[in-house]
């Protein structure tokens, strides 16, 4: 993910938690707050309840990949938090959960393409 599309400062995360609108589903919690920039910025949070460091980092990698493939509306800070069940979710489940939350939040620039389902 490009540097200008990432939330990195503590005060940006704090603003999203304090002022942001909250949307949630079984896998994720999305907090959205407008900012003065011209790009959407993402931050990812996985608490210890999700699992150990390896599991948390895997979930964050999947979240970053999903966020990279979705075109977000400019001028938004979006903090994506993973719930405990996200540790066992596939990339496609995380992608669909993120897409549906962003659609509900009105944070999509264009309608997101539907990812193909894997058959196992």
What digits encode the pLDDT tens for the residues 51-103?
A: 999 999 999 999 999 999 999 999 999 999 999 999 999 999 999 999 999 99
Is residue 12 included in any domain, yes or no?
yes
Predicted pLDDT of residue 117: 64
How many structural domains compose the chain?
A: 1
Structure tokens at 14: 């704090």
Report CA torsion sign: 33, 36, 39, 44: negative
DSSP three-state, residue 72: strand
Is residue 112 included in any domain, yes or no?
no
Give the count of alpha carbons within 13 A of 28, CB side only: 31
Is residue 81 included in any domain, yes or no?
yes
Predicted pLDDT of residue 118: 63
DSSP E strands, 1-84? 21-24, 28-34, 41-46, 76-82
Considering only the C-alpha atoms of the chain, give the largest distance between any 2 of them, rounded to a whole number of Å: 44
**For residue 20, what is the domain's CATH number?**
3.30.230.10
Structure tokens at 37: 């920039």
Predicted pLDDT of residue 119: 61
Indicate whether 37 pLDDT > 60. Answer: yes
Structural domain for 69, as ranges: 3-105
Q: pTM (2 decimals)?
A: 0.85
Is residue 80 included in any domain, yes or no?
yes
Contacts of 37 (CB under 8 A, 6+ apart): 4, 74, 75
Is residue 24 included in any domain, yes or no?
yes
Predicted pLDDT of residue 53: 96
Angle, CA 32 vertex, CA 30 and CA 36 arms, to 5° = 155
Is residue 85 included in any domain, yes or no?
yes
């Amino acid at each position: 993910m490009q540097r200008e599309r990432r939330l990195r400062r503590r005060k940006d995360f704090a603003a999203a938690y304090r002022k942001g609108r909250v949307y949630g589903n079984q896998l994720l919690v999305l907090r959205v707050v407008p900012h003065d920039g011209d790009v959407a910025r993402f931050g990812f949070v996985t608490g210890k309840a999700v699992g150990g460091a390896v599991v948390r980092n895997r979930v964050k990698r999947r979240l970053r990949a999903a966020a990279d493939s979705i075109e977000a509306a400019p001028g938004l800070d979006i903090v994506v938090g993973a719930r405990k069940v996200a540790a066992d979710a596939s990339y496609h489940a995380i992608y669909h959960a993120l897409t549906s939350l962003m659609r509900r939040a009105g944070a999509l620039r264009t309608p997101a393409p539907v990812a193909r389902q894997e058959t196992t």
